[in-house]
Amino acid sequence: MSKQLYYQDVNVGDEVSPLVKEPTTTQLVMWAGASGDYNPIHYDKDFAQSRGLSGVIVPGQLIGAFLGQMMTDWMGEGGSLRKLSCSYKGMSYPGEKITCQGKVTRKYVEEGQELVGCKLWAENPKGEKVATGTAIVVLPSRG
């Protein structure tokens, strides 16, 4: 369980606690079953290579889910993820580390809720951004 984050504890420019994932081919097959994305480039090496890829690639939506996990881990159980958007920029491969990162870009109050806006990204081991996005979270107040 992560420590609870409160609105008063967050400042623009703060970094979101990073999350490092290392997806396996087995995880990609499980993701296909859970998401309904059965594109063989995500689990069949021969098929992926026949399409000009060097091998199986990690689904972009799975990387988006990792970014969502990073945000929910960071904010704690008392927060809620209001919005998550993601754009896929490059490819990742099973067995390769994906580092999810974020930075607080905005704090504001809307309709009585204390909101924090963040920019997000995921990088491969070469430091290339394979996904970028934004998130808005609702955080509890200290009172």
Amino acid letter for position 25: T
Distance CA 108, CA 71 (A): 18
Residue 120 in domain? yes
Q: Tell me, yes or no, whether 29 lies in a domain.
A: no
CATH number at residue 95: 3.10.129.10
Q: Is residue 106 part of a domain?
A: yes
Sites in the chain below the pLDDT cut of 70: 1-2
In a domain, 70, yes or no: yes
Q: Which helix (H) or strand (E) holds 121?
A: strand 113-123
What is the Cα–Cα distance from 78 to 65, expressed in whole angstroms? Answer: 20
Q: Is 94 part of a structural domain of the chain?
A: yes
Q: How many CB atoms lie within 10 A of CB 39?
A: 13
Q: Domain total for the chain?
A: 1
**Helices (H), ranges, the chain:** 25-35, 45-50, 60-75
111 contacts 120 by C-beta, under 8 angstroms: no
Q: What is the pLDDT, as a whole number, of residue 120?
A: 98
* pLDDT computed for residue 2 by the predictor: 63
DSSP 15: E
Q: Is residue 67 part of a domain?
A: yes
Q: Per the domain annotation, does 47 fall within a domain?
A: no
Which range marks the domain in which residue 124 is found? 7-23+58-138
pLDDT at position 143, please?
A: 74
Say if 62 falls within a structural domain: yes
